[in-house]
Amino acid sequence: MPDNRYRENPIKAPRGKLLNTKSWQTEAALRLLMNNLDDEVAEDAKRLIVYGGIGRAARNWDCYDKIIEVLKRLEDDETLLIQSGKPVGVFKTHSQAPRVLIANSNLVPAFATWDDFHELDKKGLMMYGQMTAGSWIYIGSQGIIQGTYETFMQALKKHYKGDGQNKWILTAGLGGMGGAQPLAAKMAGVSLLAVEYDPKRIQRRLENGYLDIACQTIDEALQHVNMAHQRGETISIGLLGNAALVYPALVAKGIKPDLVTDQTSAHDPLNGYYPPEWSIEECQRKRISEPQTVIHAAKQAMAKQVEAMLAFTKLGIPTFDYGNNIRQMAFDMGVKEAFTFPGFVPAYIRPLFCQGRGPFRWVALSGDPADIAKTDEKVKALLKDDLDLCHWLTMAKQIPFQGLPARICWVGLGQRAKLGLAFNEMVANGELSAPIAIGRDHLDGGSVASPRRETESMLDGSDAISDWPILNALLNCASGASWVSFHHGGGVGMGYSQHAGMVIVADGTPQAKEKISRVLHNDPATGVMRHADAGFPEAVECAKRFHLDLPMLRK
C-alpha cells in the first residue's frame, strides 16, 4: 500500500452556519467527506478506511487534501470529477448539475476480480469505495440500523408471526455494518448473539451503546441468553471468537438459535475475514507478505461456517445470507449446497423495494442534534398514518449519533419527495439552523445490480443486468442531485455488484426545491420501474398508482 495512506490526523467536520466553500452544495460535500473520516464514524480513519473491509473515503491523504482544497474553490457552475478517490478534473457545467461526480472501483468485466483490483490498488491507481464510504454519505452504524431492524422484523413476521419473545439470533461480525445488528435486534424485540474475532470492535459497540455485554466463552454467552429470557428481557451479546469455530461448535452442542445469519466482511477474503489459525496481528502481517495464503485460508474458514449454517437449515432453523457473499465463497471451496438458504433480499426485503421503499437518510449539516429532533417530528406529522415508521422514529431516539447528527428511515415513492421538500421549507423559514443533506445507501430498489444480494432471484432472471444502476445514476445527474456516484463491488466484492448513489442538499432555496422534487421522485421511481419490468405484481401496481410512464407496461 502507498505510504501516504496512513496519517495521524483526527478529523471533525465543521459545524454551524459558517461556510468554508462558495455554497452549501459544496459545503455539504466537504462536511460529509470529513464526517466519513471522523473517528466516531470510520472504522480506521487513520488509514482512510470507513467500513466494509477496506472501503475508503479517498485514495490517499494527498488526494484527500486536494479534494478539500478543490471543494473550497469550486464555483456553482463547476463539477469536480473523482476517479477512485482521486480528484482528476474540474469542468464548467451549470448550476443545476451535480457539483461532484464520483466513480469508484470500476473495472471492465474480464478484469473485475480481487486479484486485478489488488494489483492496481498496490500501484496507487484505485481504491475500494464500498457503497457509502467512497460516496461520502456514511453515517456510522446508525446508517444501516433501520434496514437491519426491517430485516429482523420481516423475518420474525414470516417465521414466528412477529413474536420475538424468548427467541435469539445467531450472527457474526460487529464492524461498520454488522455493528448495527445488536441494537436493531433489541428494537425488534429479539435477543442476539454476535460472534466477533476483534476485541476492539466488541469494545467499540459496548461504548457506543449498541451492545449490552461481552463474553469470552460459548457457555457464558448462552447462560446470559437464558437468564435474560427467564427475566422476560432481551439481550445483545458480543462473543469473542471466530465464527468458523463457534458456528460448528454450536451445531455440535445441539444448540438451536431461532434465526441464523452472518455479517462479517466475507466479501473480501483478504482484508475482511480472519482465519482462525492466526491471531489478528499475524493475519495482518500475512495479508502483506502472503496474500494468496490468507485468501485461501479465509475461504476455507468461510466454508466451515457455511457448512454449519447449512446444518442449522437442515434442523429447520431459518437461515439467511445477509448480503456479504459468504455463500459464494463457500461454493468456490466446494460447498455445493451453499445456496440452499436464501439471501435476505428475496427472503424478506423485496416487497419493500417494489414499493420504492428503501433507506432514506439525512444529515444535519449544522451539527445540532435539535435539527434532527425537529425533522423527526416533521416526518411523524407528515406520515402519521405509517404507524410502523412513527414507531421506528420514537425508538430511534435511543440511537447514539456518530459524527454529524443524522437519521435513517425506510420510506417509499411519494414519501421521499414530500419529506425532502418539507426539510427544504424548514431551512428556508429558519426552523432548522442550517441545511440538510439527504441521501441513501446504494442498497435500494433501482440503484444496484447484485445477483448475490439485492437482485437475487428476480422473476425474469435479470439478476446480473447492470444497465439499471447506470440508468439510475444518469437520471440522478439529469435531475440535479448535488453529487452522484457509481461504484463496483460494494457489499459482495469485486465482480459481483455495480451500484449508484446520490445526495441532494436542502439549502432552503427555490432552486433546491425544484431539484428535490425531481431527484426524490425519480430516484425511488427507478426502483419501482426496475421491479415492474421484472414482472413483480406489487411493483406494477405501484407504477400504475403513481402514474409512472413505463412504455412497455402500457396496455
Is residue 182 within 8 A of residue 236, CB to CB? The reply is yes
Separation CA 181–CA 194 (nearest Å): 8
Q: Residue 502: what residue type?
A: M
Separation CA 457–CA 350 (nearest Å): 10
Instruction: Decide: helix, strand or coil at residue 472.
Output: helix
Strands (E), 412-542: 436-440, 448-449, 483-488, 498-506
Q: How far is CA 98 from CA 77, 278, 391, 552, in A?
A: 9, 46, 35, 30
Per the annotation, the verdict on 409 as an active-site residue is yes
> Residues at the annotated binding site?
52-53, 130, 176-178, 196, 201, 242-243, 263-267, 322, 491
Instruction: Decide: helix, strand or coil at residue 290.
Output: coil
Is residue 302 within 8 A of residue 325, CB to CB? The reply is no
Mutual angle of helices 142-160 and 387-396, in 10-degree steps: 130
Q: What is the DSSP letter of 340?
A: G
Separation CA 60–CA 85 (nearest Å): 8
Residues paired with 193 in a beta bridge: 170, 237
Query: How far is Cα of residue 158 from the mean position of the Cα atoms in its chain?
Result: 24
> Residues at the annotated binding site for NAD(+)?
52-53, 130, 176-178, 196, 201, 242-243, 263-267, 322, 491
Query: How far is Cα of residue 50 from the mean position of the Cα atoms in its chain?
Result: 11
Separation CA 406–CA 479 (nearest Å): 24
Nearest to 28 by CA among 397, 502, 490: 502
- Sheet holding 236-240: strands in order across? 213-215, 236-240, 191-196, 168-172, 259-260
Q: How far is CA 228 from CA 181, 212, 222, 241, 251, in A?
A: 18, 11, 10, 21, 22
Rg of the chain over Cα atoms, rounded to whole angstroms, equals 22
Separation CA 90–CA 80 (nearest Å): 5
Residue with cell 459468504: 326
Nearest to 82 by CA among 64, 61, 55: 64
Where helices occur in 315-414 by DSSP H, the ranges are: 326-332, 344, 350-353, 369-382, 387-396
Which residue among the candidates 63, 215, 354, 409 is catalytic per the annotation? Answer: 409
Nearest to 482 by CA among 11, 30, 65, 87: 30
What are 385's three cell numbers? Answer: 398514518
Separation CA 36–CA 366 (nearest Å): 16
Q: How far is CA 239 from CA 152, 197, 206, in A?
A: 20, 8, 12
What are 526's three cell numbers? Answer: 427507478
What are 378's three cell numbers? Answer: 416533521
What are 39's three cell numbers? Answer: 473517528
Catalytic residues: 409
